[in-house]
Chains A and B, each alone.
Chain A
């Protein structure tokens, strides 16, 4: 039970990483980030069930807050970028490119 939960959480996280690295649509990337962080949430819950205090809840609340903030701003930037470049491709965000 413990091990299966650990494996699932790691599997979900790796799927999140896969989406983060390989998708073209910016929203898919954001979804990937979300998946990754949710998998890590699951991981924390399973581990903290082995301890006697309820520290897991605090951790997860904090991760939740961070995730929410980051998604909010990420979406705002995505919308603005779509308005400028008229595209949803991740490769359109390359103004820092030098050569």
Chain B
């Protein structure tokens, strides 16, 4: 049962990702990007990390997707008439992306470690929030602090950038 779900969601997410890439209108691309994010979140939940899936929906789709939409509203220039205009040097990019896919998948699928990992793969254990918070605040507090500083820096940076609004015109 779960296997089928996983395969379904995988296929769907691949499809939506392709549509994100290959659509000529920016709005369509953004919305399908949102759908991809949803599907990935569903995969997270099926696999067993409930918290992460929910966090993904909240923050990613709720946050960054809305940001994208607003920036599209603010800048206008909505869509191109044909797909080719959206691309710049597609052939070399396809090649590079393809080689990336090839090398990483070869590396992963043919190494001993990954074969061992495949055997140990189990999705029965559901991670609880309590466990995450315990390990976060006991073992990984350093990362927590760092990410909070990073967020602070981002806020300051955005405010600084906002400040330049009037002087540029």
Contact = CB atoms under 8 A, between A and B. Distances in A.
Nearest to A7: B105
| Size bracket of the A interface | 35 or more
Interface of A: 1-8, 10-19, 21-25, 27-28, 30-32, 34-35, 38, 41-42, 45-47, 49-51, 53-58, 60-62, 64-69, 71-73, 75-80, 82-84, 87-88, 90-91
A42 B120 CA distance: 17
Interface of B: 3, 6-7, 10, 13-14, 17-18, 20-21, 26, 29-30, 33, 36-37, 40, 43-44, 47-49, 51-52, 55-56, 59-60, 63-64, 67-68, 71-72, 74-75, 77, 85-90, 92-94, 96-98, 100-101, 104-105, 108-109, 114, 117-118, 120-123, 127, 131-132, 135-136, 140, 143, 146-147, 150-151, 153-154, 157-158, 161-162, 164-165, 168-169
A70 to B, nearest CB: 8
Given A1-B3, A65-B151, A71 B67 contact: yes
Q: Is the interface of A mostly helix, strand, loop or mixed?
A: helix
Given A17-B96, A18-B97, A45-B47, A24 B40 contact: no
B119 to A, nearest CB: 8
28 contacts: A4-B6, A4-B7, A6-B114, A10-B105, A11-B17, A12-B14, A12-B40, A14-B97, A14-B98, A15-B17, A15-B18, A15-B21, A19-B21, A22-B88, A24-B87, A27-B68, A31-B33, A31-B68, A50-B121, A51-B120, A56-B49, A57-B127, A58-B135, A61-B52, A66-B147, A75-B71, A76-B162, A77-B161
